[in-house]
A and B are shown apart, each in its own frame.
Chain A
Amino acid sequence: MMDLLLRFVIGGAVVSAFAVLGDTVKPESLGGVFAAAPTVALATLVLTVRKDGAGYAAMEARSMVGGAVAFFAYACAVSFVLMRWRPKALATAGALLPVWFATAGAIWALWLRR
């Protein structure tokens, strides 16, 4: 429980720090880069290495490659839909989350689970 609480606090702090950086950097498209910063990984890797070892963390990082490729597909889809049809941002980003799950699932099936 203490471990999860620590992860919550560190995760919240790291995400907030990168969000503030993203807010202040202009042009907006460069600020957007910070929306895909490795915040969760930074927040958890130190604790993971201490608890489960470097080999375990390296295995997580290998899978993170798949998750990041899925994030790329998802962000491209969100950008395209918003640019083309201009729907509400939150609804679009929420409705397109299955793109991340589908891409990540395919990468897991084709590469990561082997």
Chain B
Amino acid sequence: MLLQIELNSLRETRAMEYVRRFAFGGAVTVLASLIAQKWGPVVGGMFLAFPGIFPPGLSLVESHKIEREKAEGKEGMQSARGEAAVEAAGASAGTLGLVAFAVVVWKGLPGHSLPVTLAEALGAWAVVSWCAWWVRERM
């Protein structure tokens, strides 16, 4: 299965949906910071991996698929929810990459510079996520 980039899919997202994503992302980031301020880094750190923007993102996948199916004259509800399930399965592979990212930052930060640690952590996220996705696709 080949990796493809489809820029056309960006046209499905309305301007308001981009604004909503930005607002959700900002709000979840502020929430995580406030929790860390109030209860300290041990509790606050867990919220760096809180799936706050996951539900609205999944809903967007579902609604875009319904619109595509409607444009083709189909009902599309069941297949749209199936596509949301596939998206969630992909996210579960991504969470293993998230674990790798966190481990690299945890072990790397005290002794290394932040830019180097972040670059290594992002690399670990990409490699582990892709490997987990690849294995999952073949199960």
Q: Pick the contact of B42 from A30, A43, A87, A113 — CB < 8 Å?
A: A113
State whether the Cβ of A102 lies closer than 8 Å to any Cβ in chain B: no
- Majority secondary structure of chain A interface residues (helix, strand, loop or mixed): helix
Interface range for B: 35 or more
Mark each residue of chain A from 64 to 95: 1 if its CB lies under 8 Å from any CB of chain B, else 0.
Answer: 11111111101110110011001111101110
Are the C-beta atoms of A41 and B3 separated by less than 8 Å? no
Total interface residues on A, CB under 8 Å, equals 83
User: B111 — nearest CB in chain A belongs to which residue?
Assistant: A54
Are the C-beta atoms of B53 and A32 separated by less than 8 Å? no
- In the complex, chain B residues 100-138 whose Cβ is within 8 Å of any chain A Cβ: 101-103, 105-107, 109-110, 114, 118, 121-122, 125, 129-130, 133, 136-137
Are the C-beta atoms of B91 and A33 separated by less than 8 Å? yes
Are the C-beta atoms of A15 and B33 separated by less than 8 Å? no
Q: Pick the contact of B98 from A7, A19, A36 — CB < 8 Å?
A: A36
Of the A-B pairs whose beta carbons lie under 8 Å apart in the complex, a sample of 28, sorted by A's number, is A7-B26, A7-B29, A8-B30, A11-B29, A15-B22, A15-B29, A25-B3, A25-B5, A29-B86, A32-B89, A35-B87, A35-B88, A35-B91, A36-B98, A39-B53, A40-B32, A40-B47, A41-B48, A63-B48, A64-B48, A68-B95, A69-B95, A71-B91, A78-B88, A79-B89, A90-B56, A90-B58, A92-B58
User: 7 shortest A-B CB distances, which residue pairs?
Assistant: A32-B90, A15-B25, A11-B29, A63-B45, A36-B94, A67-B49, A60-B45
Residues of chain A at the chain B interface (Cβ within 8 Å): 3-4, 7-16, 19-20, 22-46, 48-49, 52, 54-72, 74-76, 78-79, 82-83, 86-90, 92-94, 97, 100, 104, 107-108, 112-113
